[in-house]
Amino acid sequence: MTDSLYHPSRFCTAPMIDWTDRHCRYFFRLFSKEMQIYTEMVTCGAILHGDTDRFLGYSDEEQPLVLQLGGSNPADLGRCAKIAADRGYSEINLNLGCPSPRVQKGAFGACLMAEKQLVVDCVKAMQDASDVPVSIKCRLGIDNLDSDEFLLDFLSALDDIECHHWVIHARIALLQGLSPKENRTVPPLNYDRVYLAKETFPHARIILNGGLMGVDQSLNDLKNLDGVMLGRAAYQNTQVLLDVDQKVFDKETAIKTPFDVAEEYADYIKTLNPREQKVAIRHTLGLFNGLRGAKPWRRYLSEGLSNGEEPLALWDEGLRKIKHLNETTLIESDDPS
């Protein structure tokens, strides 16, 4: 890969509310030093009127880290962009893709795709407030605004104000009658519209999101685009991140095993208080998918955490069990008798 193609957004993990908190992001970082990691969406209200440290705090290891903002008031978004820039985020992203009724009630997220001028005002306010790059994450369209022309016209307005970094979730959002979860599966994926956007705006940095399951498939579907973003696959089957640095960023470092990651994450978990340890451990349920004992690992941790067991002891014992199971299997299969 040439240097000019190197950019952390060539491979990113998606913003996911309740999932990509700071512990999850630290966990993701253990898999890849290079990829770009997104926070969950943080609303302007939470930053301006809530516990800012809680919503914006992060560990340096998480960088390059993108803060995703939710809001539609340009002045508030500008203020939040400034706060985020001062806190060292490497990029600020505006959510234009969330279809949840609660977000629609606040008049932001996906419904903003019908309000092009307001989006322009919001992005401009964010750009003016700091020197940190501003990007957007949008859908292909919403409801009956579902055509190539609509998307290209929408992106053209962003292009005009020098906002050239777009993450596109390659399906429309249906704002009535579907839950957020259904809105991630029911409207069909249409990567072709994203490829068309890149043909139309070749200078833009366009990141493909939606339905990507792993590194190989992502590199295959990348085509003319600049990067890919993985959401559910990265969280639910974290192993898919193990060879990102080697396959996407051409690094010659050794590929870690899930056990290596578990050991490193254990050091991090030990620095947390028990309440946080519980949250941090939940992010590891998919860590051993595909290995012996993956299911019992998930069950053991989920049940133990729900039953209020001491998180660190639970983690140590769970790890000991799954390690033992895999070591025994290895020894057995190596045994020629």
Ligand X SMILES: Cc1cc2nc3c(=O)[nH]c(=O)nc-3n(C[C@H](O)[C@H](O)[C@H](O)COP(=O)(O)O)c2cc1C
Q: Closest distance between ligand X and the C-beta of residue 67, in Å?
A: 11
Distance CA 143, CA 100 (A): 14
| 212 contacts ligand X (rule: CB under 6 A) | yes
Distance CA 31, CA 238 (A): 8
Smallest CA-to-CA distance from 266 within 193, 315, 325 is with 315
Q: Closest distance between ligand X and the C-beta of residue 97, in Å?
A: 5
Whole-number Cα distances in Å, 296 to 263, 288, 300: 19, 10, 6
12 is catalytic: no
Q: Closest distance between ligand X and the C-beta of residue 134, in Å?
A: 15
**In this chain, which of 32, 68, 135, 238 binds ligand X, going by CB under 6 A?**
68
Binding mask 268-307 for ligand X (x = CB under 6 A): ----------------------------------------
| 9 contacts ligand X (rule: CB under 6 A) | no
Contacts of 301 (CB under 8 A, 6+ apart): 281, 282, 284, 285, 314, 315, 318
Nearer to ligand X, 92 or 230 (CB): 230
The answer to whether residues 39 and 88 touch, using CB atoms and an 8 Å cutoff, is no
| 238 contacts ligand X (rule: CB under 6 A) | no
Nearer to ligand X, 20 or 326 (CB): 20
Nearer to ligand X, 68 or 326 (CB): 68
The secondary structure element, H or E, covering residue 330 is: helix 311-334
Nearer to ligand X, 15 or 258 (CB): 15
The answer to whether residues 258 and 240 touch, using CB atoms and an 8 Å cutoff, is no
**In this chain, which of 137, 193, 278, 283 binds ligand X, going by CB under 6 A?**
137
**In this chain, which of 23, 79, 169, 205 binds ligand X, going by CB under 6 A?**
169
Nearer to ligand X, 197 or 314 (CB): 197
| 230 contacts ligand X (rule: CB under 6 A) | yes
Cβ-closest residue to ligand X?
A: 231
| 99 contacts ligand X (rule: CB under 6 A) | no
Catalytic residue among 98, 122, 138, 163: 98
Distance CA 71, CA 95 (A): 8
Contacts by residues 39-43 (CB-CB < 8 Å, ≥ 24 positions apart)? 39/15, 39/65, 39/66, 39/67, 39/68, 40/15, 40/16, 40/68, 41/15, 41/17, 41/68, 41/69, 41/70, 41/95, 41/98, 42/67, 42/68, 42/69, 42/70, 43/69, 43/70, 43/71, 43/106, 43/108
**In this chain, which of 8, 9, 11, 16 binds ligand X, going by CB under 6 A?**
16
- Rule CB under 6 A: which residues touch ligand X? 14-19, 40-41, 68, 95, 97-98, 137, 169, 184, 209-212, 230-233
Query: Residues with catalytic annotation?
Result: 98
